[in-house]
Amino acid sequence: MRYYLKSSSLVIRGSFRALSSGHDGGIRNCTTLLNHQVKPGFSESPDFLIENLVMSLGLLKKDSVCLLTAVSMNNLCILSIDPVTVFITAGITHPDPGSSLSDNKNPEAGTINIIVVTRDFSDQGLVDAVITATEAKVLGLRESGHSFAGTLTDAVIVASEDPGSVRYAGSATDVGKKIHEAVFFGVQEALKKPIISDGHTKPSFFIWSSIGGNHWMLWEKNNCPYYPCHFPGQCCDFCYCPLYPCGDTSLGDWIEKPGKKPIWGCTRCILNHSPQVTRHLLRNPEASLSELKAVFLNKS
């Protein structure tokens, strides 16, 4: 999986089996997951907009699954707890009709969009994960002091890389607990951020840390207590590698654990910390691993 922001869109690229409640949703194989910001008061044909959007990104509509929101992508919260990555944008100015806030006069940005990406899920597991993510969203709203369960336009995507045999994703399962933790925390954090870009707010990236007790930690490349973890002068824009797990044994190693699937370890890799590679990847977010290795080898 690789993800990046382009214009007003979150673009997540990979090879997925995805279940979506968004426009033209359902369950199918795809290569791109999108969360796109529309203008407040959007009233165009979603089909027309999405078709033009994917064309502008050089993609195919049949291979893309798209969510729409008026919330700025700078509101985005990304949460990583292996093997789960969750992407959330949240606005609540248009709560459901059962809410005491249903007569809100400013409904333009009222959508909570959630994208969950994991691995080895069967179709049944994808459905189960939608329930878990929705339950966690509701609890996140309540924890934030809201009495409603969502907005009129909330949507969710659950996508699996390497579709497999995982059938259950309720909050009693290990992976379900991780989905629940990420969505529960992420909804609360996204609700704290401006729904319309203020020119200062940026997307937030959280990682699950067990250091000092299990907790979510906001990762920031500036003032990192571990700098430099590889070499002085390293770049940290891609501390959490968009190529992970690349499987290139010249850069990392598969770590075997009894009774568990191997885990990709890349502590010895310095590829994405190279200033030349970082600059190239920022300019070319779809660059292949072989392309990045060539940039690294040709650095001056």
DSSP label at 22?
S
In a domain, 215, yes or no: no
Q: Report yes or no: 20 and 32 within 8 Å, Cβ to Cβ.
A: no
Same-domain check for residues 78 and 11 = yes
Same-domain check for residues 102 and 195 = yes
Same-domain check for residues 11 and 100 = yes
* Residue showing tokens 């909570």: 112
Strand residues in 213-293 grouped as ranges (E):
215-219, 253-257, 260-265
- Tell me which of 162-176, 196-210, 240-254 is least confident: 196-210
pLDDT, tens only, 264-296: 898 899 999 999 999 999 999 999 999 999 999
Contacts of residue 153, Cβ cutoff 8 Å, sequence gap at least 6 = 69, 94, 110, 111
Same-domain check for residues 199 and 281 = no
Between the two ends of the chain, the Cα-to-Cα distance in Å is: 30
Strand residues in the chain grouped as ranges (E):
2-6, 9-20, 26-37, 64-69, 77-81, 84-90, 112-121, 155-166, 204-209, 215-219, 253-257, 260-265
Same-domain check for residues 7 and 155 = yes
Rounded to an integer, the average pLDDT of 136-145 is: 96
The per-residue pLDDT of the chain, averaged, comes to 90
Q: What are phi and psi of 272, to 5 degrees?
A: -75, -5
In a domain, 219, yes or no: no
Same-domain check for residues 29 and 169 = yes
Q: How far is residue 62 CA from its own chain's centroid?
A: 21
Tell me the whole-structure pTM to 2 decimals: 0.90
In the numeric block, which tokens belong to residue 189? 């954090």
The total number of structural domains in the chain stands at 2
In a domain, 216, yes or no: no
pLDDT, tens only, 25-58: 999 999 999 999 998 878 888 999 999 999 999 9
Same-domain check for residues 190 and 259 = no
Same-domain check for residues 245 and 178 = no
Query: Containing domain of residue 265, as a range?
Result: 224-297
140-146: long-range pairs with CB below 8 Å, 24+: 140/183, 140/184, 140/185, 140/186, 140/187, 140/188, 140/191, 141/92, 141/187, 141/191, 143/184, 143/188, 144/187, 144/188, 144/191, 146/92, 146/95, 146/99
Contacts of residue 298, Cβ cutoff 8 Å, sequence gap at least 6 = none
CATH number of the CATH domain containing 112: 3.60.70
pLDDT, tens only, 187-215: 999 999 988 766 778 899 999 988 888 99
Q: Report yes or no: 115 and 20 within 8 Å, Cβ to Cβ.
A: no
pLDDT of residue 13: 95
